[in-house]
Amino acid sequence: MSLLEIEDLSLTIGGARILKGMGISVAPGEIMGLVGESGSGKSMAALTVMRLLPHAARATGRVSFDGIDILAASEDQMCALRGDDIGMVFQEPMTALNPVKTIGEQVAEGIRWHSGATRAEAEDRARKMLDRVGLPEAKFPLSRYPHELSGGQRQRVVIAIACALKPKLLIADEPTTALDVVLQAQILDLLRDLVAENRMGLLLISHDLAVVTEMADRITILRHGEVMEAGDTAPTLSAQLHPYTRQLAQASMHVPARPKTHLADTAAKPLLEVEGVTRDYRGRRISLFRRAPDVRAVDDVSLSMAAGQSVALVGRSGCGKSTLARMVLALDRPSSGAIRFRGETITGRSEAELAPARRDMQVVFQDPYGSFDPRQKVERLIAEPLHVLEKWPTRAERREMVAHALHEVGLDQRDMDKYPHEFSGGQRQRLSIARAIITRPKLVVADEPVSALDVSIRAQILDLFASLNQKLGIAYLFITHDLTVARAITDEVLVMHEGRIVERGKTNDVLDRPQSEAARALVAAAPDLHRAIARRMQEQG
């Protein structure tokens, strides 16, 4: 008997058809993978099960959970189910967490609400759950707030909230998108253990075919709201009978053609120089007279980049990658050391003095939704960097520049009149990239630029990065935990661990023959589609 049964589900929002006769089932103790491109309806199917749809949404068909008709259930019934019998890991952790509540409060809240546990009991259970997802209290006290954690650490908090009450069904919408490969492997092992221990059903929504192959018993492939192919995971992805399945598999292993890529002139004066940079953060106040020890996020880091060079900064979540990026962009000041851009020192400069440098450096943030003002339309959001130009463009010129940037990242010029919430997670990341390239900068710092993108769009974006590098000589500092991205698009790799650079070299040299323990751990944990299919086929005999 199925725990979750979806039959002939159709969903319309404001007249647009999102799901078209979709069907899927999840049995107790089973992992079902739901795969498809950004905008295919994966997340909307999950929100239909949770009954968290917009008011304008109209759903027809049958959605049954443990014998309960979800579409006919009252809001009181759904409140009892959500967080208790049905847990959900949302795609964007920062928007799923309450910024004014500590992580301990947020994990304990659902435990107290559904189980009637005392505050002390709930906090104890929250502490154990956070420890299990890799956030031990010794390093991550319950009193921390979401903004004090990295993107990957916030994702772990969301997973802890969803799993705290051992739900019968867990819907995981891109649960490992923001995690480094080592932690991703640990979290996937945790999810497998929870499925086995509690006979929990797991609906795993992902664009990462390698992860789905490693995890899922069965797979359903969705496109434009319709099921294209479904079946046992390994045979389905091995045979690739449907053209769309074949397209996804090829896109997941796509490497941009770079024979004519702009050659960085490493003998010329560096575009970016980082010398002995350190960043310390004051410890939290424990009591009126006591503070926790200072935290060193970046420890004596040095690097240099030539114009047109593409460099990957890889490492585990919380190792200091994003902190280093913020200092490179002059959004944060180092405690010591110096940073020079185009030969000019940018550390300690005022905003007015930084204006010339700002014209030639841009950023793609890790959390696309959190980096946009939700009250502004896309035209204004994409055009934001234009204020640093020496000559402010006219309204017509601005719209033309925005339309061109949107076209370059695979969006339509009509999208400039929409708001960020009208886009999927992957589409919002494309908006971030459009905003970064609109001024044609010399340096783009890309913090996990394709982590939220499905495989097809990721391939397009990597091609776009390579094309802009070739045409304009844009240099890239890619901050990523995805080693396939590093291999596909970068010339050199820097491996960061606990705030320090522990290994550096040509991309293929580092990833094929890692020397440091940190690099070896990253390479060993990186998922591989061909290897995963072969292993699953062997297991099935």
Q: What is the mean pLDDT of each run of 10 residues along the chain (541 residues)?
A: 92 92 95 89 93 92 95 94 93 84 95 92 95 90 89 86 93 82 83 90 90 93 94 92 90 65 59 95 76 87 93 89 92 94 91 86 80 91 85 87 89 92 80 89 88 74 81 87 82 94 94 92 84 82 64
Task: Report the Cα 434 to chain-centroid distance in Å.
Answer: 17
Contact criterion met (CB below 8 Å) for 194 and 170: yes
Nearest CA to 190 out of 218, 152, 219, 159 is that of 159
Residues in Cβ contact with 463 at an 8 Å cutoff, skipping those fewer than 6 apart: 254, 256, 257
Written as one letter, the residue type at 208 is: D
Q: Which two tokens stand for residue 54?
A: 């917009």
- For the chain, how many residues are written? 541
Nearest CA to 506 out of 488, 487, 523, 493 is that of 493
- Kindly report the number of other CB atoms within 10 A of residue 183's CB atom: 22
**CA quadruple 245, 250, 253, 256: dihedral, nearest 10:** -140
Check residue 348 and give left, alpha or beta (phi > 0: left; psi -120 to 50: alpha). Answer: left
Q: Helices then strands (H, E): number in the chain? A: 20, 22
Looking at residue 261, its pLDDT comes to 44
Residue spans of alpha helices (H) in 63-180: 75-81, 93-96, 103-115, 119-132, 151-163
Strand ranges in 181-309 using DSSP code E only, listed in sequence order: 201-206, 218-223, 226-232, 272-281, 285-287, 290-291, 295-305
Residues in Cβ contact with 370 at an 8 Å cutoff, skipping those fewer than 6 apart: 92, 94, 95
Cα–Cα distance list, 352 to 243, 335, 359, 383, 395 (Å): 54, 21, 12, 20, 25
What's phi and psi for 460, nearest 5 deg? -65, -40
Residues in Cβ contact with 90 at an 8 Å cutoff, skipping those fewer than 6 apart: 96, 158, 173
Task: In whole angstroms, give the CA distance from residue 122 to residue 138.
Answer: 18
Nearest CA to 325 out of 490, 336, 314, 307 is that of 314
Q: H-helix or E-strand containing 496?
A: strand 492-497
Q: H-helix or E-strand containing 20?
A: strand 16-26
The structure tokens 């109209």 sit at 58
Cα–Cα distance list, 399 to 402, 472, 477 (Å): 5, 22, 28
Contact criterion met (CB below 8 Å) for 220 and 197: no
